[in-house]
Amino acid sequence: MDFLGYKSKRVIVSGCFSGMGEATARLLLGLGAEVHGLDYKPTALELASFTQVDLRDPAAIDAAVAGIGGRVDALFNCAGLPQTSPPLDVMKVNYAGTRRVTEQVLPLMSEGGAIASISSTAGMGWSRKMPVLMELVQKKSYEDTMQWCEDNLETVNEGYTLSKEAIIVWTMMASAQLIKRGIRINCTLPGPTQTPMMNHFESRTQASVLNTFIQPIDRRSTPEEQAGPLVFLNSDAATYTNGVALPVDGGFLGGVATGQVDLSALMPAA
């Protein structure tokens, strides 16, 4: 029984060099999908195709997606930069470039297509910032998005939090439109995950703050524990799941909502 329905599906995974993207590509290969990878670093995986592309370059994104061409059944937006990178680069890769990849892939998708992107529990404050986030996500082009970022550098701040909030709000907004074409779009909110990006988080963020986000499960996620929910969201097992920002955080956001996790380490940072 092919419960998830990936046998001979054509899928694209951005960020397939390491971490969650690599784990996702591996899982999809195991499920019988035809996997096409995008990253600015080459992958060791045996994919149907791999295209080296920098998500900070919209023309390169367009060429990369055109090079894959054909029918695409599912897109996994896994590429990302941490807050140790320049803020505008973070906005480009995590939001504007991710959105550009998606918009280039959409014409290659038909009814039944699905898109899953990675946000973060770092984006959990999105609902308190709706006016500014709606202003940002209503910028349709890559160029207008980045112009808005340049004009609003204080709001962009370190880039990471805003990029993750923007993915959530854009996912919700796009979901109501794309479902009219039978295409679904969702995102995940991972908690701290043991990937190469974690070294960057550790260099910038106090351990007490990082450890706040592993409550109540008391350990970090593996990349494979993040790949599973992404693969589920784009699968035939999730055809009524749309516009969702799915926490994959060991219970952190549930604990926050019910006052059961200790957020005191975040207060001095705030």
Ligand X SMILES: NC(=O)c1ccc[n+]([C@@H]2O[C@H](COP(=O)([O-])OP(=O)(O)OC[C@H]3O[C@@H](n4cnc5c(N)ncnc54)[C@H](O)[C@@H]3O)[C@@H](O)[C@H]2O)c1
CA distance 130 to 64: 33
Name the minimum Å distance from CB 255 to ligand X.
Answer: 17
36 vs 56, beta carbon nearer ligand X? 56
Does 55 interact with ligand X (rule: CB under 6 A)?
A: yes
190 contributes a contact to ligand X by CB under 6 A: yes
**H or E stretch including 75?**
strand 74-77
Q: Quick check: 193 binds ligand X (CB under 6 A)?
A: yes
Q: Which of 24, 51, 104, 120 forms a contact with ligand X (CB under 6 A)?
A: 120
Kindly identify the residues of this chain, within the stretch 215-244, that bind ligand X according to CB under 6 A: 223
Residue with smaller CB distance to ligand X, 5 or 96: 96
Q: How far is the CB of 106 from ligand X (least distance, A)?
A: 19
Task: Pick the binder of ligand X from 37, 80, 229, 247 (CB under 6 A).
Answer: 80
Site string for ligand X, 5-44 (x = CB under 6 A): ----------x-xxxxx-----------------xxx---
Name which of 42, 245, 55 is nearest 145 in CA terms.
Answer: 55
Each residue 60-79 as x (binds ligand X by CB under 6 A) or -, in order, gives ------------------xx
For residue 100, state whether it binds ligand X (rule: CB under 6 A): no
Of 9, 56, 100, 184, the one binding ligand X by CB under 6 A: 56
- Backbone CA torsion sign across 200, 206, 209, 214: positive
Q: List, as one string, the DSSP characters of 201-255.
A: HHHHS-HHHHHHTTTTTTSPBPHHHHHHHHHHHTSGGGTT--S-EEEESTTHHHH
At closest approach, how far in Å is the CB of 85 from ligand X? 8
Residues listed for the chain: 270
By the rule CB under 6 A, 196 interacts with ligand X: yes
Q: Strand 34-39: give its sheet, edge to edge.
A: 49-52, 34-39, 10-14, 74-77, 114-118, 184-190, 245-248
| From 58, 159, 192, 247, residue interacting with ligand X (rule: CB under 6 A) | 192
End-to-end CA distance of the chain, in Å? 50
Closest CA to 202 of 216, 192, 214, 215: 192
CA of 205: how far to CAs of 56, 266, 269, 270, in Å? 25, 11, 10, 13
Catalog residues that contact ligand X under the rule CB under 6 A: 15, 17-21, 39-41, 54-56, 78-81, 93-94, 118, 120, 190, 192-193, 195-198, 223
